[in-house]
């Protein structure tokens, strides 16, 4: 097996238990995995090498929450919000109509384009949800396309109730039956995760529980959109079913924070949403101080958060959510990996997949210190 040495690393972030951050460091990669890291002068000989000239090297970002299978544009909604309109979950149906009308080739090209944007900004692992098809056929093809790009695919047939003409609960019950029946059967082979949007205007606690339990019975792992637009039962439900992630967590009671702290559920914070909907940012400090594991992700979607940039999320989390630069980087890498129950990515300790980003900067702190600047020089 050939070995490759990356040397003259000004600052190396590994998240290794003993040496999480090193200076004047080097890294050896063999067979796609980290086989050694340490101080530059101690580096072993390798078959090839490159000198990064004192740059910082960080684990590739793990974006644990995206909705990349979509067509259409909702910039007009964003423009209206910036002049005072509130965000409404119902806007999802606009993207559903555009997605259903788009041929596979167009959806595939959109996913590829957004993943290329993400990679250029340091993301090396991305989760992708369905949720803009909302028919058996359109959800299944969304997931089949997503699976061409990532193993982290999530069935979100329970995103919103489509074509809800009467607003009666009967329609919701019929749609939950479809999601947990024929739709789940067709989609489960393409998905690792099951998700539900538990919120007023989408699905209530009992409906969400039904969806998650059906997904679990079909062999999928649960995660949830919870407490995004207001206080609600989503976080408690996430903990109750042992979900890997409760994402959004914008409106939390003390009981919600306590429940998360004693659980294996990662609280996913998605600052692009609050930026783009003018909602208050979630309080990361409160969660971290309570002992909750926090991840950061983009939630890249055309409605509530049309950013593909993890560095942007890191910068906002530091500036407006009470995170230190180190905490924000951890949440955007290792935290994202924990949200996806992965131990092979999100860090660069020995044995980890050698997914890393070389920054055009001497320290990872520049990710927040220089917001909006394209700092990712190379991605492996």
Residues that bind ligand NIG (CB under 6 A): 67, 91-92, 95, 197, 225, 228, 273, 299, 301-304
Between the alpha carbon of residue 178 and those of residues 69, 172, 190, the distances in Å are: 21, 10, 17
Question: Please, what is the minimum distance in Å from the beta carbon of residue 348 to ligand NIG?
Answer: 29
Residue 362 near which of ligand NIG, Fe ion, none (CB within 5-8 Å, type-dependent): none
Sorted by sequence, the CB contacts under 8 Å of residue 124 that are 6+ apart come out as 60, 61, 62, 345, 355, 356, 357, 379
By beta carbon distance, the residue nearest Fe ion is: 299
Binding site partner of 95, from Fe ion, ligand NIG, none, Cβ cut-off 5-8 A by kind: ligand NIG
Quick one: which of 317, 240, 234 has its CA closest to 273?
A: 317
By beta-carbon proximity to Fe ion, the closer residue of 256 and 299 is 299
What value, to the nearest 5°, has the Cα angle with vertex 147 and ends 295 and 64?
5
Question: Least separation, in Å, of the C-beta of 88 and ligand NIG?
Answer: 8
Q: Least separation, in Å, of the C-beta of 304 and Fe ion?
A: 7
For residue 303, the partner it binds in ligand NIG, Fe ion, none, with Cβ less than 5 to 8 A by kind, is ligand NIG
Find the shortest distance in angstroms from Cβ 225 to Fe ion: 5
Q: Which is nearer to ligand NIG, 150 or 305 (CB)?
A: 305
304 binds, among ligand NIG, Fe ion, none (CB under 5 to 8 A by kind): ligand NIG
Alpha carbons 296 and 61: distance in angstroms, whole number: 10
- Among 323, 319, 343, 342, CA closest to 331: 323
Q: Which does 197 bind (CB under 5 to 8 A by kind): Fe ion, ligand NIG, none?
A: ligand NIG
> Cβ closer to ligand NIG: 91 or 362?
91
Residue 208 CB, shortest distance to Fe ion, in Å, is: 14
**With contact defined as beta carbons under 8 Å apart, do 114 and 300 qualify?**
yes
Pure H helices in 263-333: 271-277, 284-289, 310-320, 325-332
Burial class (CB in 10 A: 0-12, 13-18, 19+), 94: middle
Minimum CB separation from ligand NIG for residue 362, in Å?
35
77 vs 355 by CB, closer to Fe ion: 77
Q: Does 195 bind Fe ion (CB under 5 A)?
A: no
Query: What's the closest the beta carbon of residue 59 comes to ligand NIG, in angstroms?
Result: 24
Tokens 């409106």 belong to 251
DSSP assigned state of 359:
E
Q: How far apart are the first and last CA of the chain?
A: 18
Cα 333 from Cα 63, distance rounded (Å): 8
Instruction: Name the binder of 339 from Fe ion, ligand NIG, none, CB < 5-8 A by kind.
Output: none
Site string for Fe ion, 277-306 (x = CB under 5 A): ----------------------x-------
SS3 of 66, please? strand
Residue nearest to ligand NIG (CB): 303
CA 312, CA 133: separation in Å to the nearest integer? 28
Closer to Fe ion by Cβ: residue 299 or 355: 299
Q: Summarize as ranges the residues that interact with Fe ion (CB under 5 A).
A: 299
């Amino acid at each position: 097996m050939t070995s490759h040495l990356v040397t003259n690393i000004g600052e190396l972030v590994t998240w290794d238990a003993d040496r999480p951050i090193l200076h004047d460091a080097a890294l050896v990669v063999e067979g796609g995995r980290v086989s050694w890291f340490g101080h530059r002068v101690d580096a072993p000989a390798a078959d090839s090498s490159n000198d990064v000239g004192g740059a910082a090297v960080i684990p590739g970002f793990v974006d644990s929450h995206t909705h990349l299978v979509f067509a259409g544009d909702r910039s007009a909604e964003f423009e209206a919000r910036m002049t005072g309109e509130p965000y409404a979950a119902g806007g999802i149906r606009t993207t559903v109509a555009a997605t259903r009308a788009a041929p596979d080739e167009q959806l595939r090209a959109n996913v590829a384009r957004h993943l290329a944007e993400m990679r250029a900004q340091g993301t090396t692992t991305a989760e992708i949800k369905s949720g803009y098809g909302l028919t058996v056929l359109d959800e299944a093809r969304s997931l089949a396309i997503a699976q061409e790009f990532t193993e982290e695919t999530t069935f979100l047939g329970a995103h919103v109730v489509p074509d809800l003409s009467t607003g009666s609960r009967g329609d919701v019950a019929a749609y939950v039956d479809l999601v947990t029946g024929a739709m789940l059967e067709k989609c489960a082979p393409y998905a690792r995760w099951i998700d539900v949007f538990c919120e007023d205007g989408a699905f209530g606690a009992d409906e969400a529980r039904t969806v998650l339990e059906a997904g679990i019975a079909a062999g999928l792992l649960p995660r949830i959109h919870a407490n995004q637009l207001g206080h609600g039962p989503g976080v408690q439900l996430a903990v109750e079913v042992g979900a890997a992630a409760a994402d959004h967590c914008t409106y939390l009671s003390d009981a919600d924070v306590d429940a998360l702290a004693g659980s294996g559920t990662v609280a996913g914070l998605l600052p692009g949403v609050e930026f783009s909907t003018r909602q208050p940012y979630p309080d990361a400090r409160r969660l971290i101080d309570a002992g909750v594991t926090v991840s950061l992700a983009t939630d890249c979607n055309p409605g509530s958060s049309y950013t593909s940039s993890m560095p942007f999320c890191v910068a906002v989390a530091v500036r407006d959510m009470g995170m230190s630069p180190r905490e924000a980087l951890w949440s955007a890498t290792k935290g994202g990996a924990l949200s996806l129950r992965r131990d092979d990515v999100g860090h660069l300790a020995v044995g980890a997949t050698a997914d890393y980003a070389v920054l055009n900067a001497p320290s990872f702190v520049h990710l927040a210190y220089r917001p909006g600047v394209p700092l990712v020089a190379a991605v492996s």
